[in-house]
Amino acid sequence: IFKDYVSGFLKESDMQVINGTLKLKLPEGSNGIVVKNLYLSCDPYMRNRMTRAEGPNIFTSFTPCSPLTGFGVAKVLDSSHPNFKKGDLIWGTTGWEEYSVITELEGLIKIQHTDVPLSYYTGILGMPGLSAYVGFYEVCSPKKGEYVFISAASGAVGQLVGQFAKLMGCYVVGSAGSKEKVDLLKRKFGFDDAFNYKEETDLDAALKRYFPEGIDIYFENVGGKMLDAVLLNMKDHGRISVCGLISQYNLDQPEGVQNLMCLIYKRIHMKGFVVTDYYNIYPKFLDVMLSYIREGKIMYVEDIAEGLESGPAALVGLYSGRNVGKQVVLIARE
């Protein structure tokens, strides 16, 4: 249960796990489904939904005293909609609860391929995977041999962007918040180099060390001080894909960025994107990703917390970097 609008850093106590009885009946005359939730996805944008929506915002706020909602994988138990039947597996927006009645079916996608773990549809084959794909290929216009930097590089999106860039023949460096994550980037995901940004007192100097010739492409996941340092190190005509700004999500007053003049001096192309605008390319993306996974061309690391009661800690952990890889909450195995 989302208790009430949050200000400042999200805490576990902003949510509550309760036991109760759910009415699993579809409303009379509705076109809906009843599902058993299997996996829930912890995604950084969920913090944005915990603030009362005002100003430019693409998210609707959660309703206080109601269950959170978010991306998940679920099994259909009952359906009054012609496109879904009992036994179907789906991914899309569901409730943070063991069972849900879903009447908003837009954006729900039926899972056809089950030779990969179902949890993958919360990540590599779901919303974060598509974000990595469009944010890199569509926004960055990458070319072989270019220098690519990725922040929050070991997370759900970052680990995939780095591997796409390596497949493209780029030189790839990532930043992450622990030695364990830095090792993962270099050893498992094949990044050319990686560093722990928490150990760097001067991010500008660190980037100059890793990119003496400058950065062609920056895949932005964090914002704040990192963005400022990156702007100083971009090459002329560089591209910045603004996927997320997680360092800002828990701040009541977002930090200012100092070095925006670099956008002009260096003719940098900086573009934000919203993954849901690209759902039309999901079938093509799914084909590509499934073959990458089956051929072992892409590695993928998940961090799976067990049980709905572990959900609040798992979600809060995103904002301190507790997760190693894509954070998922396992509710039930079918």
Residues near ligand NDP, by CB under 6 A? 43-45, 128, 131, 152, 154-158, 176-178, 181, 221-222, 243-247, 273-275, 318-319, 321, 323, 326-327
Neighbours of 30 (CB within 10 A): 13
Q: How far is the CB of 179 from ligand NDP (least distance, A)?
A: 11
Residue whose CB is less far from ligand NDP, 108 or 245: 245
| Smallest separation (angstroms) from ligand NDP to the CB of 130 | 8
Question: How far apart, in Å, are the Cα atoms of 64 and each of 3, 48, 197, 317?
Answer: 5, 14, 36, 21
Q: Which is nearer to ligand NDP, 152 or 329 (CB)?
A: 152
Residues 221, 152 contacting (CB under 8 angstroms): yes
Q: Which is nearer to ligand NDP, 21 or 280 (CB)?
A: 280
| Pairing between β-strand 89-95 and β-strand 109-110 as defined by DSSP bridges | antiparallel
Rounded to whole angstroms, the Cα distance separating 291 from 287 reads 6
What is the smallest separation between the CB atom of 178 and ligand NDP, expressed in angstroms? 6
CA distances to 27, 34, 205 from 23, rounded to whole Å, are 10, 10, 58
Residue nearer to ligand NDP on the CB measure, 34 or 165: 165
Paired strand residues for 325: none
Are 33 and 84 in contact, with CB atoms under 8 Å apart? Answer: yes
CB of 59 to ligand NDP, least distance (A): 11
Q: Which is nearer to ligand NDP, 22 or 205 (CB)?
A: 205
Distance CA 180, CA 186 (A): 10
CB of 275 to ligand NDP, least distance (A): 3
Tokens of 42: 């912890």
